Amino acid sequence: MAERLMARLQQQLAEKRAHNLYRQRRVIGSAQQVELLSDGKSLLSFCSNDYLGLANHPEIAVAMKRGIDRWGVGSGAAHLITGHTAAHHALEEELAEWLGRERALLFSTGYMANIGAISALMKRGDQLFEDRLNHASLIDGGLASAAAFHRYRHAGTAMLDEQLRAVESGNRMVISDGVFSMDGDIAPLQQLVVSCEQRNALLMIDDAHGIGVLGEQGRGCSAGYTQQQVPVLMATLGKAFGVFGAFVAGSETLIETLIQDARSWVYTTAPPAAMAEALRAALKIVSSDEWRREQLRQLISRFRQGAGQLGLPLMPSETPIQPLVVGEADRALRWSHALEERGILVSAIRPPTVPQGSARLRITFSATHTAAHVERLLDALDQIQRQDH
């Protein structure tokens, strides 16, 4: 039986290689920054989620070092045992105050936050509605719950309204990414809020790629919306915040429910307290350094203007995620390899992450990129496009 299973796995791997869908890791030999050492080679990176350039920020590094001096390197237990320190608690309180929510709960990862929150809130007989392009963790959270699972057309609020009207039994929750990670577009949040208010449904927004980047003081897609309008807000802390982790923010009732019932929070070791100290320092920078968001806006505008002049097939996006759709997986790989030969790192995104025929280069910007970096990328893409025709 074991031999048959191994043979099947080997065949599956061979098929992935044959269809240009095989995934391989890189070994990074430097700190996270726009100039990376990848597999021993210096590359200009346009594929990190370090949107504000904080992953190697000296003040955040000092805060983590001080945290280690005070708290050590490990938390030693789950939050409900002895792992929840004053550093964790202070971070949660500061996040909640910044976002205008009653409470926040720190999770180890965004995946764990989504799985834990959805499965804790949705029970058998309930109804769950999700955008078709939601992140895998939101889809998996829905499948892991016992609720009936409905998916609506991407950003299709009219279709969502029809589904909500047609299904009235049980508690209902609508879930959407704030910024969609592969397309870079922003959810129609105003329409989602209205639909949920009219149909008495709970709204959950995953703002992993919006927090720190969008909204006043970087409060994300939900900036300007109240806790009542967006009752369940999840965001990650390893992208624009430059560190690690995630949180769910909302009412006292929501957070106490997750503390009791979110299995991915209850049954796991707490993150190191030193990490929480680093995140507290990151929060101060995220909320105060408006120049980082302005720098991103300028870089994105220049890139889109230049790409338009070159006729590059960019998807519509105002965020640091700028997808360049090239079609088939082999072409996406070919363009990615050609960029790497020119000293530029951009990942090829292929099925099943994106639908068949929509393989792409997922170009992402950081506040630590420069205008010269953008010009270098545009020049390289122009050369590759000419050679590929």
In the residue annotation, 239 being an active-site residue is answered as yes
Residue for token pair 């590929």: 388
* Helix, strand or coil, per DSSP, at residue 376: helix
Marked catalytic residue, from 119, 181, 222, 358:
181
How far is the C-alpha of 62 from the C-alpha of 97, rounded, in Å?
Answer: 24
Reply yes or no on whether 75 is catalytic.
no
Long-range contacts of 24-32 (CB under 8 A, 24+ apart): 31/55, 31/56, 32/56, 32/242
- Indicate which residue of 135, 209, 369, 373 is catalytic: 209
Residues 269/77, Cβ–Cβ less than 8 Å: yes
Strand partners, 321: 364
In the block, tokens 């959810």 appear at 187
How many beta carbons lie within 10 A of that of residue 150, not counting itself?
18
Choose, from 57, 135, 239, 373, the residue flagged as catalytic: 239
| Residue in 104, 94, 102, 79 with CA at minimum distance from that of residue 273 | 79
For residue 309, CA distances in Å to 155, 297, 312 come to 28, 18, 8
Task: Please answer whether residues 334 and 292 qualify as being in contact, where contact means their C-beta atoms are separated by less than 8 angstroms.
Answer: no
Residues making up the chain, counted from first to last? 389
Report how far residue 48's alpha carbon sits from residue 293's, in angstroms, rounded to the nearest whole number.
16
- Residues classed as catalytic: 181, 209, 239
